[in-house]
Structure 1
Amino acid sequence: MFNVANYLETIGYAGSNEPTLDTLRAVQKQHLMSVPFDNSVNANVDRGLSVWDDVDIDPDESYESIVVGGRGGVCYELNGLFRFLLTGMGYDYQILAGAVRQVTGGFGPDLEHIFGCVRLDGELWLVDVGIAGPHYIEPLRVTSEVQELYGVRYRMFESDGYWVVQRKPKTGDWQAIYRFRMQFRDIDEWNDPDPSLVEFPPGLVAVGTFIHSRATENGQIVLIGRRCLKVADGEESVRVLVDPVEYKETVNTILNPETRGVS
């Protein structure tokens, strides 16, 4: 059964439950360190648009299997649970939809990714615990000002009706994470969506690629197929894990941290 106090304890958060910015920062980071992204559990290349049938999660069922049971999840599961957690803590949470940057440099469909924002003292903060690739491990304020988290710089700007969120490690260029419309969403929008808002153009994404990721104390580790990206204090390193033993060990490191909430 979904329980806020047990949820926080399980992910290793032991601070104040007051709905402040400091609490929000700590809870998002602890969640990302403790609960991994893992699309292998839901891998099914033949579901088509029926993948959106599960977006309106059962919080009790998802809580038991992911938070208590220890398995990873995908964006709508992880951000769905996070939405219930934050609203249970008293935060003013709204759902947003994002189009994630693809390997081609383009963006996916508008309703591809579900995440959210929190309003605090008249300002909006993006919160997201469910995206596969490298991203912000603490909330980002919706502003045109550059922000820095653990050595990585972030910025966002308006373009063609979207807010585009970009990141820049210590070495490398600015690169988009995703774009989104500043339009608060309702979960029912995914129940019977316009196909143009959820379908990928042919060839845009490699179907069936397993993705695993988890935050660490000062960065992230992201495994896309056998390509392993590690981020630490803004420094990035990439390796292709050819050795099957090393690959399995890396997957295990991401999905089964020795202690929940500890990098």
Structure 2
Amino acid sequence: MEVTAYLDRIGYHGPHEATAETLRMLHAAHAFAVPFENLDIHLGRTISLDPASLFDKIVRRRRGGYCFELNGLFALLLERLGFSVRHLMARVLWGQTEVGPLSHRVLLVETGGERWIADVGFGGNGLIAAIPLAAGHEERQYADRFRVTTVEQGEDRSESRRGYRQEYRLDCLVKDVWEPMYSFTAESYLPVDYTYANYFHSHSPESLFTQKRLCTKPTPNGRIILQNRALKIRHDGQSQTEALKTPEAYRAMLADHFGIALSDHELSACFGERVETNG
């Protein structure tokens, strides 16, 4: 972990002390600089969660990633700066009609006697800044509004898990309706838990990430979303969608909006069909 290189990658020039203010500033810098994207899956590459691989991809090669990658590397940065980080798993509710598995990596950060949820790897209307883990808390973050609520559940009699099984939910306000994003508890998870979930998301034909090429990043006034060859730009509550009809338009869009540069081979694979995976 080269802290200076990481901070340069996200354009952060603020304080380094492990405070709530620093956490929120780091989180926002990361969200605005590093896109959520799954293009490597469609390039047939293994999604490695090894710290050195994550650093090389996101910092040195200036790419993005999805939750297991982005939150995994962000956690290492926070720990290096002196924050206490707990690794959580969340159940995605956004756009779901059925109850799904725990499949999203989230971070719980403790500083100054307070607990915060940090998540720089949610591809929908994700957080821009860390948010306090406090039931009933509601706040606006640039163009979006979020709230934290609690979820009723049965009693957990496990002594070792007492105090960590309260279930929370993160919501986002969409057209005056609170839409649930995901639910989670404060229970810690191990690296192997993410390895299994990461393998499913990057290999299974049932995974959204193998079905669609995705790239998204927030802006101060909205969000930029790429889904396959359709580019959608939300700005001040209005949306505009453009079909990218040529590889050249696709390449220019990735460079201009997401800072991603593709070789000719990569462009062909991302614009067209998925190439064979390497297992």
Q: Summarize the alignment of residues 186-201 of structure 1 with structure 2, pairs less than 5 Å apart.
A: 186-191=190-195
- Other-structure match for 2:159: none
**Is 1:167 the counterpart of 2:172 in the alignment?**
yes
Query: Distance between the aligned counterparts of 1:132 and 1:256, measured in 2?
Result: 17
Write out per-residue CA displacement over residues 213-261 of structure 1, whole angstroms, 9 at most, x where no aligned residue. Answer: 123234432223345444445x252525364465554333333179xxx
1:177 and 2:181 correspond: yes
Q: Which residue matches 2:273?
A: none
- How far did residue 118 of structure 1 move? 0.6
Distance 1:99 1:229, change over 3 A: farther
Number of aligned positions between the proteins: 245
**Which residue number corresponds to residue 261 of structure 1?**
none
1:248/1:191 Cα in 2 relative to 1: closer, same or farther (>3 Å)? closer
Alpha-carbon distance in structure 1 between the residues aligned to 2:107 and 2:125? 17
Match of 1:82 in 2: 74
- TM-score, normalised relative to structure 1: 0.79
Question: Are 2:234 and 2:240, in contact at CA under 8 Å, matched by a contact in 1?
Answer: no
Give the secondary-structure state (helix, strand or coil) at the position aligned to 1:42: helix
The amino acid that maps onto 1:253 is: D
Among 249, 254, 261, which residue is 1:251 paired with? Answer: 254
CA contact (8 A) 1:98 1:114 kept: yes
Partner in structure 2 of residue 26 of structure 1: 25
- 1:119 to 2:106 alignment: no
**Per-residue deviation, 1:211:** 0.9
Q: Identity over aligned residues, as a percent?
A: 27
Give the counterpart letter for 1:18 in structure 2.
E
Residue aligned with 2:211, SS:
coil
Quote the Cα distance in structure 1 between the aligned partners of 2:74 and 2:169: 22
Structure 2: any 5+ residue segments left out of the alignment?
Answer: 154-166, 262-279
* Counterpart among 241, 244, 254 of residue 243 in structure 2: 241
The normalised TM-score by structure 2 is: 0.75
Match of 2:213 in 1: 210
C-alpha change, 1:250 and 1:168, in structure 2 (3 Å) is farther
Three-state SS of the structure 2 residue aligned to 1:41 is helix
The 1:218/1:118 distance shift into structure 2, 3 A limit, reads farther
Decide whether the 8 Å contact of 2:20 with 2:112 is kept in 1.
no
Tell me, yes or no, if the aligned pair for 1:32 and 1:215 is still in contact at 8 Å.
yes
The CA deviation string for residues 109-142 of structure 1, in whole angstroms up to 9 with x for no partner, is: 11x1112011122221111111111211001111
Matches within 5 A, 1:83-162: 83-110=75-102, 112-143=103-134, 144-161=136-153, 162=167
Q: Which runs of 5+ in 1 are unaligned?
A: 259-263
CA contact (8 A) 2:231 2:244 kept: no
Cα 1:176–1:192 change in 2 (3 A) is closer
Q: CA deviation at 1:82?
A: 0.2
Partner of 2:223, secondary structure, is strand
**C-alpha distance in 2 between matches for 1:142 and 1:94:** 13
User: Contact 1:37/1:214 (CA < 8 Å) preserved in 2?
Assistant: yes
Deviation >6 Å, runs of 4+:
201-204
Name which of structure 1's ranges 88-97 and 203-212 shifts more when overlaid on structure 2.
203-212
- Which secondary structure state, in structure 2, belongs to the residue aligned with residue 239 of structure 1? strand
Q: For the pair shown, which has the larger CA radius of gyration, 1 or 2?
A: 2
Q: Which amino acid aligns with 2:169?
A: V
In structure 2, the partner of 1:15 is: 14
Is the alpha carbon distance of 1:101 and 1:249 closer, same or farther for their aligned partners in structure 2, counting shifts above 3 Å?
Answer: farther
Per the alignment, do residues 174 and 204 of structure 1 end up closer, same or farther by CA in structure 2, a change over 3 Å counting? farther
Q: Which has the higher contact order (CA 8 A, sep 6+)?
A: 1
Residues 18-48 of structure 1: per-residue CA shift (max 9 Å, x gap): 1111111111111122211110112389x9x
Give the distance between the partners of 1:44 and 1:98, measured in 2 at CA.
27
